[in-house]
Structure 1
Amino acid sequence: MRRQFVKTSAGVLLAFGVLAGCSLQQAATPQAGPTQPAGYEEHNDADVAFAQQMIPLEQRAVAMSEALLAKPGVDRDVSDIARAIHENDRPEVVQLQQWLKDWGAAAPGAAEQASGTHAAAIQDAEPVQAARLYLEQMIANHERTLALSKTEVDKGTYRATVAVAGGGEATLERQITTMKTLLGSP
């Protein structure tokens, strides 16, 4: 009987040891977390805020540029700026929306995206006044965009949004200077 007990006890201890070893092995082995798609990169709240706030600004810029470009008789220099802004901002809106979707973040609501007021004023104005309205509104729009870009460069972590923000700063500053010159202000 004693021999049976020793065998049983040894078997139990052996089984316990094996189980304990498995548990320790499992604890030491990193558990696979949720898999991310190839090329996935972490982002932070600053990146999300940048995209959410930039979309309405760029949509407004596109709408105002389209309104100005549809108006005959506008000064060519102003039309050239409008064309450049339109060509740059339109694809950026799509990219910003895609990043928000990839991150599972909410897109700006309809209230944030309203841009028709400025575009309607440009459409309703005579060509010289339309150009003036466009330049004044676009300078204000670019100044807000520049401030957002600087914040993203300082606080963002997603390389692509930081690159867009940093790369756009010089262009924004140059366009603001050009638009102020066209308005006749320093």
Structure 2
Amino acid sequence: MIRKRSLVRRTAAVAAAGAAALVLAACGGGGDSTAGHGGHDSSATTSVSASAPASASQGKHNAADVAFAKGMIPHHRQAVEMADLAPGRAQSAEVKKLAADIKKAQDPEIKTLSGWLTTWGEEVPAEGAMDHSMHGSGGMMTEQEMAELKKASGKAFDTAFMEMMIKHHEGAVEMPKTEQADGAYAPAKKMAGQIIASQSAEIEQMNKLLGKS
């Protein structure tokens, strides 16, 4: 009997302690529901909502992305056409290397940009078709300027090539800047950043070779 009473008391004490703990927990949770619990919920929600669009945007594109790809392809094509002239006409080893580097960087970008447009159901600019419409804008060379470059050789070619390529690069850099500001497709924005960095570095290099900086 004594053993039974002691067991009952012990059980009651445990139950009372458990109830007290529950009450304390409830009070604690309610007391900081705005700063603690509520704050945690809101930060978790922010984290989820912020990361979801970021991952989803990898596959989404908008009109700015399309304009970037369609504008960059003919621009790159002309730069590659200019670079192709260097091996047989340039005198300076630096100019030859620069031309090779430009072609090496821009040829794969043309393929990537064309692939994006195809995936998006957009038309890839035809070879030469858009080039002429863009001449004189965005740093694009005119047909006359291209013809003069093709006639030049030696030091005259080196100078003309670098002066024209600086103008070409300066025009090209504006398109990726717009893409970074307005585009939605993450890989295109990443490429835009790479173009700005590489072409800005090449502009600096050419200005140094021309003795302009």
Pairwise CA RMSD of aligned residues? 2.1
Match of 1:108 among 114, 125, 129: 125
Is structure 2 residue 173 aligned with structure 1 residue 171? no
Note the 1:12-27 alignment, pairs <5 A.
none
SS in 2 for 1:70: helix
Q: Is residue 56 from structure 1 mapped to residue 50 from structure 2 by the alignment?
A: no
Q: 2:203, 2:197 → 1: CA distance?
A: 10
Structure-1 residue corresponding to 2:186:
159
The answer on whether the counterparts of 1:57 and 1:145 sit within 8 Å (CA) in structure 2 is yes
**Aligned mate of 2:174, from 147, 160, 174:** 147
TM-score norm. by structure 2 comes to: 0.64
Deviating above 3 A after TM superposition, structure 1's stretches of 4 or more consecutive aligned residues are 114-120
- How many corresponding residue pairs? 147
Match of 2:93 in 1: 76
1:44 aligns with 2:71: no
Equivalents in 2 of 1:167, 1:88: separation in Å?
10
Q: Which residue of 2 aligns with 1:28?
A: none
1:120-172, CA deviations, whole angstroms, 9 ceiling, x for partnerless residues? Answer: 43231121111111111111111111111111111111111100001222211
CA offsets 1:98-119 (integer angstroms, 9 cap, x no match): 1111111122354323579354
Residues 67-98 of structure 1, C-alpha deviations (whole Å, 9 max, x = no match): 11232x52011111111001111111111111
Code of the aligned partner of 1:56: P
Please identify the structure whose Cα radius of gyration is greater.
2
Given that 1:150 and 1:165 are in contact with CA atoms closer than 8 Å, whether structure 2 keeps it comes out as yes
TM-score w.r.t. structure 1 length?
0.72
Structure 2: state its 5+ residue gaps: 1-57, 133-140
Identity %: 32
Aligned pair partner of 1:86 in 84, 93, 103: 103
Deviates more, 1:97-106 or 1:114-123: 114-123
